[in-house]
Structure 1
Amino acid sequence: MLRGNIKFNKIATKKHLIIGIGVIIAAAACWVSLMLIYPREQTDSPVATVNGEPISVYEFNQRMRMNRTRILLHFQTQYGAQETPEFWTSSFDGEVPLEMLKKEALDECIRIKLQQLLARDKGLVQDISYAAFLKQFNHENNRRKAAIKAKEVIYGPVQYSEETYFEYVFSNMQSQLKDKLKGKEIAYTSEDLRQYYEATKAKYAKEARITIEKIAVTYVDQDGKVMESRKKEAKLIMQKAKERLEKGESFGELAEAYNETDEEKKSHGAQIFDSSSARTDRKYYPELLKEVSKLGAGQTSGIIEIGNTLFIVKCVEKQNGGYETFNEAKEKVETDYVSSQYESLIDKMVKGANTFFKKSRIPPLTFALRV
């Protein structure tokens, strides 16, 4: 009996040893992978300096992540390229995706850092290092986690991503900085605003007034569930309505025949889109508004599928909304003018900046392409 126990203990010990070795190997592999992706000498060092202020590898990589999809889309659209293992280092008519990504990231980092420097000079922030931001980011997410655990109300997301929280913090800083610069670095008169309004009047166009009639057939039951049989039936109904319209039958008569409620039958599905309903339209009818906007007065759409409903729409009337007057738009004009002057100011700062780029400290490819 004792011999059997000794044998069993040896087997158990051997098994635990194998498991232990496996855990150590896995941990070591994980550590090596992390070191390959986040080399210590690179994460601890700036990739560039702007007017003596460092840009850390973390913030550089954040901008690479932010621009990754856009750069990929550029090469897919321009050259029909696919994201293969060789894609990022391949040349397409002299353009190399990774080099373009690095340049975009650096340009954005410089512009961001100069704005942070200006905000610090104006006393709006004290520490503009990325390490300080990451500390604030982690603190905010921990605060939210604790609030949820305590069943307290929080506003915004349950947890921020690094990129989302940076944009939130940075945009708030920009707003404060613009207010701080108004009347000083950004000075203007009422005449300046009026001239800006005239030069950019298209921005202050009112919503066009569009009156439509529509035929609408849904394919959901009373509980909101999609019925495949009803969907097929709805498509046949709308195809029949389309054919009858093409033969010259009255849209109003067909709306009375095919619309599902008495109110829709009686009104021919009438609906008006204009400045008074713009907010509601964008919230509840964005896709329908998009399709309606394509039509001229008297034109009829094809069959449009939105949500669980099929539509045929006729534009009865379309009136240009005109423009907001200067006085109506003055607050928006001032905000837009200050923003344009602010961007011009930052452009000048970028041109005059003393930038030193440390190419040897750029992260490796795996670091750059991590999503």
Structure 2
Amino acid sequence: MTTPVPEEQAAGAFTESAAEAVQTAVMAARLVMAIADAARRHQQRKHKGEEEELPAAKKAVAEVGGDVERLLPSDISTALMGEADWPQLAQQLLALREAGVDLEQVLPRIGEVAVNVRDQVAAKASEAATEQWVRVVREALPAGPVREGMLASPTWPEIAATMARLDEKGVNVRDVLATMYDTVQGVDQAVATTVGAPAPRMSESAKRSYGELSIGLALPVDLDLSDRGRVFGQLAISSQDNEKYARWVREAVPGYGREVDLMVASSQWPLVAARMAQMEKDGEPVAARVANLANDGSWREGPSGQVTSRLARSTVNALLGPGNELPGPGTRARVNTTAARLTSPSMGGPTKATAAKGGAAPAQPGVASHREAGPVASSGKTR
């Protein structure tokens, strides 16, 4: 039996989320009704010494069914009345009415509780489903304004739902995304030119944070490490993946949770997480690599104020493996073959179109892709 790919899982989640939300709402409605019925029974025992018998089921269904349909949201009332024990629930409602409870007041309140529960469950299911499509978009498109615009759009849930429906119909969504990329990028550039948008500028906080940690990672030129919400959107790292990566580090160095938390809260962490995401996409055993951090205690040595930077460096070294460690502070950066192999179009590397136009590979050794200078125009003379 094959494991479903992320988009298949997401498509199923979208399909099931609405039904699950309604069923959970019905559970909430049943809970409120059970509590109300318990209160009725308690009062009758307290004042009359015994509980009154429930009305006949057939009579109860006939008398309160219309009220339930009229006073509860249609999806919830339909699901509630479709339950096998609906006659017993109807008996409880009619018993409440006969005990003096105004169902015209109670049922709408039960409906409010059920709707609130339904919407919370639906929102959570939708978020879980869309996060799986974040990975698909990250793998299919290079980093840049097109990908960031998709993931940051207020219509992103709708976009993800549409991709899920296409996938259900047998459409290869990854191919669609890759095919449409050049067209959408042209639209983005045309609009930017029309409105006079300036070229993306690198934030000062991002400039200060660039260095050895980002060797081999092709990052957006306007990466803003000062804005946590935005940077994870730019890198297309979901909150679920971010929590997973942080957990792997904590498990690798038990007893140092405070230091790990400080690193995760730092500006270096998005770069470490981006490397994990890229390696995971490439099929590398990321969790096993991170576990090697347990064998490196060097990050614990030195000034306490620099422990975050040392831990980030050691984490990346664990990911890259023996022989591919980052250059030490104050030394010239060198080519890192493992890190260079991680450079991918999905993280903003050259697209197929660029390669087709004869774009040359960077020739500057040991300089991260985001720091490499562009080709110098030839004057037509040689020395």
TM-score, normalised by the number of residues in structure 1 = 0.20
TM-score, normalised by the number of residues in structure 2 = 0.19
Structure having the larger proportion of residues in helix? 2
Higher relative contact order (CA 8 A, sep 6+): 1
